[in-house]
Structure 1
Amino acid sequence: MTSDDDYAFEGAAPQPVRDNNPPLSISELSFALKRTLEERFGHVRLRGEISKVNRHASGHVYLTLKDDKSAIDGVIWKGVVRGLGVQPETGLEVIVTGKITSYPARSSYQIVIESMEAAGAGALLAQLERLKVKLRDEGLFDPAKKKALPTFPATIGVITSPTGAVIRDILHRIAERWPSRVIVWPVVVQGDAASSQVANAIRGFDAMTPDGPIPRPDLLIVARGGGSVEDLWCFNDEGLARTVAAARIPIISAVGHETDTTLIDFVSDRRAPTPTGAAEIATPVLADLRWALSDLEGRLSRAGARMLEDRRTRLRAAARGLPARPEDLLALPQQRLDLAASRLGSGLHRNVAVHERQLAAVAGRLSRGLLDRAIERRGDRLAAYADRFGPAMKRRLDRDETRLAALSRALSTLDPKRPKPGFARIEDAEGAMIASAAALSPGQTVRIVFGDGAKGATIDGEGAAPRPVPAPKPAPRPKAAPAGQGDLF
């Protein structure tokens, strides 16, 4: 027995395989793969190099993680970017933690990054070096911008951890050298929150007022003990460095030991090798000041004694040239005073007599006739001026009067309220003159003013055809004579 397949022609098209499975849409397959990825892998920890960093306007960051053979896309949501321990930069090797998922619109998988840290000290130092170059180019390391430290601070602010040996060493050293008021602002000095807490403490101290309930410190110390590069990395934060550079209060950076270097060491006003060294830089030694003050006091006493002795010696030398009695010193000046007093009365009389003779000589030349002659001369000059300028002024006034009358006549001819023969003035309903056809609209009521009266009118409309003029009637033709009638004559 044969089947239909036995008679199939060679080379015929293959028949489709029948399958009872319903077909899936592209979206169904994409979301099924997305659920499988998220359920199978969940949270993973990856190490790789960052490339193609794209900071979107929405605040999200899109990047690519790669190694020598493969690459994977990554996304950091806006709310996570601010809390990252290390900000993503191209070329930085990092370790990230996140959730594997897919992006159905492109059928690609990606990692949603929730935390990021540098992969090693080499990557951290490379990132720090790039940030140092950036801030140096902006002038934040310029020595000219450093503020001078106060010589005798009354209040010192310390930003550090409230527990540990650092704060105890600083307080002990300040109390030993220069007892002053110390205000401690407790912060954490390690971890992701350290940089923001230290920056907030600097801004908080900077916002205080000198006359407030808590006086503003004259000097700030940012202190922390030694540690690894990762432990001190919070003090390399760009935002913290800019806060230190913008502070109005002088700041001493005392982070780590002498060999440790952080970014705020370059932007602060002074760097101390250790927290104890910061206390020594901030305060003078009270004992040394007392000794110096005592030495200055002794030198002042000795200098005063030498000056008094010198003046005493000079006074004794001058006294040897003086007479024995003080009356002998005053005898000669007193005699000169008596002589001058005796001559004063006669001198005053002679002075009065001289001035009296001068007054009499001048009074002889003064008389009323002199004043009258001067008045007459000035009157004659004024009359001459009047005779000269009177006719000229009259001619000028006549000429200007004639010209003014002509201008008045010309002005009256141009008065729009007095139309001339052959002219008319168009006014609207309120009586305002219309000077342009564009100011008129169809159906508007106007008033036409002639020289001898006014008439009302209505505007027909723009482009209205003129009213047809009736054609003249033709003259009647003479009637023709009836045919066949001849002349009666």
Structure 2
Amino acid sequence: MAREPSNSDNDRLVARVAQGDNAQPLSITEISSLLKRTVEDRFGHVRLRGELSGVKRAASGHLYCALKDDKAVLDGVMWRGNTNRLAFVPEDGLEVIATGKLTTYAGRSKYQIVIESLEMAGEGALLALLEKTRARLEAEGLFARERKRDLPFLPKTIGVVTSPTGSVIRDILHRLADRFPSHVIVWPVLVQGQGAADQVAGAVRGFSELPAAGPVARPDVVIVARGGGSIEDLWSFNEEAVVRAIAECTIPVISAVGHETDTTLADHAADRRAPTPTAAAEMAVPVRADLDAALADFAARQRRAVYRPVELGRERLEARVRRLPQPEQVVQAQTQRLDDLAERLRRGLMDRAGQGRERLAGVQARLSPQMLARSWSDAKRRLDQARLTPALIERPISAGRDQLAALSRLAEQLHPEKPLQRGYAIVTDAAGKAMTSKVQAQKEAALKLRFKDDVLDVHTGAADSPAQPGQPATPRTKSKPRAKAGTSARQDDLFD
């Protein structure tokens, strides 16, 4: 059954403008613009508290996130210029206070907050972020005890990363001057606020990358120092960049951030934590006066150690001297014997002199001029009686000549070459040594036969004889004896 046309407004097929109606239809863009202006005018400046969720940073540098509580969610965006001024790294789960303005995003029919600044919602949120970061870095092993290094006993150069205008650097320099004056290099940085973490991390890495033999002395130890303050003031030393720079530093690092009750992640990453900057200076160097006292004590102990054997020796010598007898007692017997011998010597000399006088008197009696004249006359008479005839000289010469002739005849007959004239031969080895027996000749491989007119070389065949026990056998070879010139006869083996 066909539907009958109706005259009501709801049943109109084509939109019509009623008479006197000025409500013209709006486009989607127009209503979106109206909503945008209305929301921005009404909520041009708001502060919202909520938990971050879905935090991500785009390649352009903008930050996108969502703020939520237990009943609602609001999208948020933070442009790159504002993200560069953040004092912390936003993470999911952090409770923050966002300051900005509400606006709409017509492309998705959504409203969102354009965040101008982002702050932690109280110390509880900061502590939660701190604990979360600490657990993550500790899981990576940056706080492990085995990574800690010992501080040098006496550093020549000390690097200090701190503000150059604060009281911290003055306290450190004053304490170093009192304990042990050292060469100090200060790397000035911001210790609070925007960019402080990057400057501290860069300073630590800068000290670590200094060459050992460069124009600037490489520190033996680095002190990262800052005075006390709230958790917000010290937050730069909880940043991951600072913690990683300290953990990766090739130089031992002392962290002296805040007072004794203040603890930062830099303290966990450093090789040594100092409760105050002044205490860091005390850790870095020993007390010079104590070293001087220790050296003086060592020198005194050395002197005592050297002199002690001398003193003990002197005491032992004195004890032995006391046990020795007196020198007079030792030489008394010898003195008495010396006196006795001296007396005996004196008497012996007197007796000897008396005996000499008696012998001299006897000889003197025999040495009279008459006796000397008589002896001289007898000697002259015997000389006159002696006659030196030629026969006295010729007779010994003739006898000697006969003996020499007899010896010459005997030498001629006994000459070893004399038998050669009668057909005999002399057998020698290669060196010319005479062979007197067959046993000797058999040991020689070659012999020489000396005849009246020449020498004949022969081979005995000793090289062909069986090998002795323990000696290798020598192959038997037939040697050809050297024949005498002008003869064709072959010389056979003398002992075959």
After TM superposition, is the score higher than 0.5? Answer: yes
1:206 Cα deviation after fit: 1.3
| Pair 304,146 (structure 1): closer, same or farther in 2 beyond 3 Å | same
On the 8 A contact 1:85/1:115 being kept in 2, the answer is no
Structure 2 residue corresponding to 1:179, chosen from 178, 181, 184: 181
What is the alpha-carbon distance in structure 2 between the residues aligned to residue 364 and residue 278 of structure 1? 103
Q: Give runs of aligned pairs for residues 304-383 of structure 1, distance below 5 A.
A: 304-309=306-311, 365=443, 367=445, 369=461, 371=463, 376=475
The question of 1:268 aligning with 2:346 is answered no
The residue number in structure 2 matching 1:215 is: 217
1:305 Cα deviation after fit: 1.1
| Pair 378,185 (structure 1): closer, same or farther in 2 beyond 3 Å | farther
The residue number in structure 2 matching 1:73 is: 75
* Secondary structure, aligned partner of 1:174: helix
What is the alpha-carbon distance in structure 2 between the residues aligned to residue 363 and residue 201 of structure 1? 103
* Secondary structure, aligned partner of 1:299: helix
1:173 Cα deviation after fit: 0.5
Deviations, residues 151-199 of structure 1 (Å, cap 9, x unaligned): 0011111111112322111111100000011111111211122111111
**What is the CA RMSD across the aligned residues, in angstroms?**
3.4
Q: Give runs of aligned pairs for residues 32-181 of structure 1, distance below 5 A.
A: 32-38=34-40, 41-42=43-44, 44-56=46-58, 60-77=62-79, 80-181=82-183
What is the alpha-carbon distance in structure 2 between the residues aligned to residue 40 and residue 258 of structure 1? 49
1:73 Cα deviation after fit: 0.3
Deviations, residues 241-287 of structure 1 (Å, cap 9, x unaligned): 01110001111111111111111011100001111111111110000
What is the alpha-carbon distance in structure 1 between the residues aligned to residue 440 and residue 192 of structure 2? 106
What is the alpha-carbon distance in structure 1 between the residues aligned to residue 10 and residue 215 of structure 2? 96
The residue number in structure 2 matching 1:254 is: 256
Q: 114-123 or 36-45: which moved more? A: 36-45
Deviations, residues 433-474 of structure 1 (Å, cap 9, x unaligned): xxxxxxxxxxxxxxxxxxxxxxxxxxxxxxxxxxxxxxxxxx
| Pair 271,362 (structure 1): closer, same or farther in 2 beyond 3 Å | farther
**Which amino acid in 2 is paired with 1:109?**
Y
**Which amino acid in 2 is paired with 1:229?**
I
On the 8 A contact 1:240/1:264 being kept in 2, the answer is yes
1:33 Cα deviation after fit: 3.6
What is the alpha-carbon distance in structure 2 between the residues aligned to residue 241 and residue 202 of structure 1? 10
Deviations, residues 390-434 of structure 1 (Å, cap 9, x unaligned): xxxxxxxxxxxxxxxxxxxxxxxxxxxxxxxxxxxxxxxxxxxxx
The residue number in structure 2 matching 1:301 is: 303
* Secondary structure, aligned partner of 2:164: coil
Gaps of 5+ in 2: 324-438, 447-460, 466-472, 479-496
| Pair 111,363 (structure 1): closer, same or farther in 2 beyond 3 Å | farther
1:63 Cα deviation after fit: 1.3
What is the alpha-carbon distance in structure 2 between the residues aligned to residue 188 and residue 12 of structure 1? 73
1:365 Cα deviation after fit: 4.0
On the 8 A contact 2:221/2:252 being kept in 1, the answer is yes
Q: 118-127 or 103-112: which moved more? A: 103-112
The residue number in structure 1 matching 2:201 is: 199
* Secondary structure, aligned partner of 2:232: coil
* Secondary structure, aligned partner of 1:91: coil
Structure number with greater Rg is 2
Q: Give runs of aligned pairs for residues 233-244 of structure 1, distance below 5 A.
A: 233-244=235-246
* Secondary structure, aligned partner of 1:211: coil
What is the alpha-carbon distance in structure 1 between the residues aligned to residue 46 and residue 445 of structure 2? 127
1:20 Cα deviation after fit: 6.0
On the 8 A contact 2:464/2:477 being kept in 1, the answer is no
| Pair 292,370 (structure 1): closer, same or farther in 2 beyond 3 Å | same
The residue number in structure 2 matching 1:277 is: 279
* Secondary structure, aligned partner of 1:230: coil
1:31 Cα deviation after fit: 4.3
* Secondary structure, aligned partner of 2:129: helix
1:122 Cα deviation after fit: 0.3
Q: 178-187 or 13-22: which moved more? A: 13-22
**Which amino acid in 2 is paired with 1:264?**
A
1:223 Cα deviation after fit: 1.1
1:212 Cα deviation after fit: 1.9
1:82 Cα deviation after fit: 4.8
What is the alpha-carbon distance in structure 2 between the residues aligned to residue 175 and residue 97 of structure 1? 49
| Pair 302,63 (structure 1): closer, same or farther in 2 beyond 3 Å | same
Identical counterparts, % of pairs: 58
**Which amino acid in 1 is paired with 2:141?**
G
* Secondary structure, aligned partner of 1:136: helix
* Secondary structure, aligned partner of 2:92: coil
Q: 251-260 or 64-73: which moved more? A: 64-73
1:230 Cα deviation after fit: 1.1
| Pair 367,113 (structure 1): closer, same or farther in 2 beyond 3 Å | farther
On the 8 A contact 2:161/2:186 being kept in 1, the answer is yes
Q: Number of residues paired by the alignment?
A: 332
Gaps of 5+ in 1: 1-7, 321-360, 380-489
**Which amino acid in 1 is paired with 2:234?**
L
**Which amino acid in 1 is paired with 2:193?**
G
